[in-house]
A and B are shown apart, each in its own frame.
Chain A
Amino acid sequence: MKGNLFRGSITSGLEIKLSDGNIIEDVKVGNFVVIQGKKNKYLCMVTDIKFEALNPQMLINGINIEDDIDEKIIDGTGVYGVITLSPMIQVDGEGNAISVKSIPAYGSLAQDANAEDIYNVFGIPSEENLYIGTPPEMDIPICINLKKLVERSTGVFGRAGTGKTYLTRLLLAGLVKSKCAVNLVFDAHNEYGYEAKREGGSKVKGLKQLFGSQVAIFTLDRESSLRREVPVDGVLNIAYNQITPDDIMLLNSMLNLNNTALESIYQMMKAEKNDWLYKFIKMDSSEIEEYAEEIGANGNSLQALKRKLERLTRLPFLKHIVPSDCVKQIMDFLQKGINVVIEFGNVSTLGYMLVANIITRHIHEMYVKASEKSIANDSKEPTPLVITIEEAHRFLDPSISRETTMGEIAREMRKYNVTLLIVDQRTSQIDSEVLSQIGTKITCRLEDDNDINSFLSGVNNATKLRNVLASLDQKQQALILGHAVPMPVVIKTRNYDQNFYNDVSTFSEDDFINKPFLKLLEEEKVDELFPD
């Protein structure tokens, strides 16, 4: 694409008249264009494409053109293409990339960015710079800065089937490889730890297959993991005494608890300390009546509460006494810098939320303590931790996000080196306050207006990016904006394939392709790993 600047402002963007011989259909929204001004170079994104005419009458009468020659005469002269660009980065004469504070001189030449322009802004692929995709029409790697990514929370959004999991896998693999952060993944659909099925049938490698001992897999559903032949490092069980009223409150909407019930729970907690839940669930009706009187609660409402909480007893991982404190094990792994994936197997959403909340609560405590210690001793801060949660809106719903640990992490924890990687389909259902704290936003195609509005709320140039967002392909394309990228960028997501494996994995091809860990497991006697 080539053209010249003929109109523009900082707020409305720059308008380029497409030069003769350029076909308007070749210009795509989201592409990179460089404008060489007299002093500065501007890297811009195409945000709109339209026709204009020297005379409005030409737009109407020009349609009745008779042959090729007539078409060529009118095209580019009477009626011409206008490309609206949003300037994103300004590079001054000394090569410093700064935010845009001026616009290029009238008539400046605009043309497609080349590899050098893109590298200058996004950097070249390296440990810290993860090659995440290419511009839709170019074959030049675009990188995302992982160090910056982990400084703030990250959101990966998009409708179902647009490639969120795919992108998250790329990010996680990049993070593990770069060691910029240690990861804790709440893998609701068993997609990140070990082998997962890609849409269309073929299989893709999980983190364990790529990074071996740097990744530990815990499961809540041992049977499911065994069926899928996943080499797990531990079976996660939760003891009743690890559950606090706050954890229950998170399940409020699912268990349909009212305020009285919640108050009763707090009362029980006060009376029974950590054992409250187990004791309460084991009570029969007459005991409950007595107990209600004892703690000054309403008997009927306690009965109802018990019926509701009984749903928890059906969770397979919830035990009175657990063989080992898995939560502590997970903490130990994380402290050693080993990434942890928690597989949920066929555990219900209820279980997913309960476990995720309990574990994050512990992490919260651990990281706050570690950070405070490091401040006191002037020692090294703890390694950044990234917690990946799927279906994040369940934790970050406006009605509960103020109370949940997840909500707190999203808002505050970057100071303590803990950030979230939120994977969700519905941005509109996430608390706007949490959403505004997300540093890097990555989105695949969104269609619901509310979701688009929430995604773009607080974003500079939101109206222009809306066009870009609407033009994303159904699959494998994403818009990235925020802290980890110097400018908003549309990418065609990199393929998660053998090339990628080779790039990130330290294993040789033979090691991880066919016989990764199962054989090793057999040798180490699987049974020993699962003491009953």
Chain B
Amino acid sequence: MKHIGEIIETNTKMFECQSVKLDESPDFGGFVKVISNDMTIYGIVFNICTMSEDITRKPVAFGLTEEELRRQQPQIFELMHTYFKVLIIGYKKEGYRGILPPRPAKIHSFVYDCEREDLIDISKDLNFLKNILNGQTGIEEELVASVIRNLSKVVLEKDCYMITVGKELIRLLKNDFDRFLTIKRMCKI
């Protein structure tokens, strides 16, 4: 199993990773896992950015194609990195639980893409919806919709799953029905 990133900042609710390769982060709304201490911690990718290693040095536009740029200014690609943030949604220790782990993921731990079995475990526990809607990411609706779309591809009975998730969303968003409608619309691609 090849890792796709490494944790460079961590706390109870989320962690930030650096991608192994430039511009090769997991997708927005994708699921990743990290093995830390004696458990596997699961999370959702919600913010991806590529920027200079040195925050005081801002990249400039050269007006060249990528190929020309690689030929003329190869150092640029060495100084740039892709980072992504992950919202923690659960952990596995003798079975998956959709709640925050007792300890955060360790720094410099490797981050891996989730496999199908992991996704099926996650799909069974809808606590992640509440976790996302709590508003730590700033893009709650988009993230919920993206996660639901991703999970609906792995579950056995898609329609049934969409109904269960929809009902949970209605419960959570009972005071903001418009928000529910927005998410529902975003779920359909």
Give residues 125-168 of B contacting A (CB, 8 Å). 159, 162-163, 166-167
Residues A78 and B163 in contact, CB atoms below 8 Å apart:
no
18 residue pairs bridging A and B, Cβ less than 8 Å apart:
A54-B171, A58-B170, A58-B174, A61-B181, A62-B177, A69-B159, A69-B162, A69-B163, A69-B166, A70-B166, A72-B166, A73-B162, A73-B167, A74-B170, A77-B166, A77-B167, A78-B170, A78-B177
Residues A72 and B181 in contact, CB atoms below 8 Å apart:
no
Interface secondary structure of A, over-half rule: helix
Residues of A within 8 A of B (CB): 54-55, 57-58, 61-62, 69-70, 72-74, 76-78
B-chain residues with CB within 8 Å of residue A76 when the two chains form the complex: 167
Asked if A77 meets B171 with Cβ closer than 8 Å, knowing A58-B177, A70-B184, the reply is: yes
Residues A73 and B177 in contact, CB atoms below 8 Å apart:
no
Q: Report the minimum CB–CB distance from B126 to chain A (whole Å).
A: 13
**Chain B, 161-189, contact with A by CB distance < 8 Å: what is the 0/1 string?**
01100110011001101100100100000
Residues of B within 8 A of A (CB): 159, 162-163, 166-167, 170-171, 174-175, 177-178, 181, 184
Contact among A54, A57, A61, A72 for B163, CB-based, below 8 A: A72
The CA of A264 and the CA of B106, in the complex, are separated in Å by 116
B-chain residues with CB within 8 Å of residue A78 when the two chains form the complex: 170, 174, 177
Identify which of A54, A69, A70 gathers the most chain B CB atoms within 10 Å of its CB: A69
B-chain residues with CB within 8 Å of residue A72 when the two chains form the complex: 163, 166
Residues B170 and A77 in contact, CB atoms below 8 Å apart:
yes
The CA of A57 and the CA of B180, in the complex, are separated in Å by 12
B167 and chain A: residue at smallest CB distance: A77
Q: Report the minimum CB–CB distance from B155 to chain A (whole Å).
A: 14
Contact among A55, A69, A70, A73 for B174, CB-based, below 8 A: A55
The CA of A496 and the CA of B144, in the complex, are separated in Å by 63
The CA of A73 and the CA of B164, in the complex, are separated in Å by 7
B-chain residues with CB within 8 Å of residue A74 when the two chains form the complex: 166, 170
A58 and chain B: residue at smallest CB distance: B177
Asked if A54 meets B184 with Cβ closer than 8 Å, knowing A61-B177, A72-B163, A78-B177, the reply is: no
The CA of A76 and the CA of B174, in the complex, are separated in Å by 13
The CA of A133 and the CA of B152, in the complex, are separated in Å by 51
A-chain residues with CB within 8 Å of residue B178 when the two chains form the complex: 57, 61
A-chain residues with CB within 8 Å of residue B184 when the two chains form the complex: 70, 73
Q: Report the minimum CB–CB distance from A398 to chain B (whole Å).
A: 56
Residues B166 and A73 in contact, CB atoms below 8 Å apart:
yes
The CA of A39 and the CA of B157, in the complex, are separated in Å by 41
Contact among A55, A69, A70 for B177, CB-based, below 8 A: A55
The CA of A74 and the CA of B178, in the complex, are separated in Å by 13
B158 and chain A: residue at smallest CB distance: A69
Identify which of B171, B175, B181 gathers the most chain A CB atoms within 10 Å of its CB: B181
A-chain residues with CB within 8 Å of residue B166 when the two chains form the complex: 69-70, 72-74, 77
Q: Which 3 A-B pairs have the closest CB atoms?
A: A73-B166, A54-B174, A77-B167
